[in-house]
Amino acid sequence: MKGWLALFVATMGCQAAHTEPSSKLAQVEVIATGVPLDHGQLEVPPLSRSPRRLNADQLAASLPVVAGNDSKQQAITWTVKVGGKDVPAINEGGVGTTLGRPDYYQNTQESDDASPLYLKFVDDMARDVCAKMVAADLVQKNPMTRNLVRFSEFSVWNDKTAVARNLRYLTLRFLGRKVADTDVASIANLQDLYEKIAAAQAKDADRGKAAWQAVCVALLISPEFHVN
Q: List the chain domain ranges.
A: 56-226
User: Which residues have a Cβ under 8 Å from the Cβ of 68 and sit 6 or more positions away?
Assistant: 75, 76, 133, 136, 147
Q: Which residues have C-beta within 8 Å of that of residue 144, sequence separation ≥ 6?
A: 150
- pLDDT tens, per residue, the chain with 228 residues: 444 444 444 444 555 444 455 455 556 565 556 656 666 676 766 665 566 788 888 888 999 999 999 988 899 999 988 888 888 888 766 677 777 677 667 767 776 777 777 888 899 999 999 999 999 999 998 999 999 999 999 999 999 999 999 999 999 999 999 999 999 999 999 999 999 999 999 999 999 999 999 999 999 999 999 886
Q: Which amino acid is at 48?
A: S
Contact 165, 179 (CB under 8 A): no
Query: What is the model's pTM?
Result: 0.74
Q: What is the rounded CA–CA span in Å between residue 31 and residue 122? A: 56
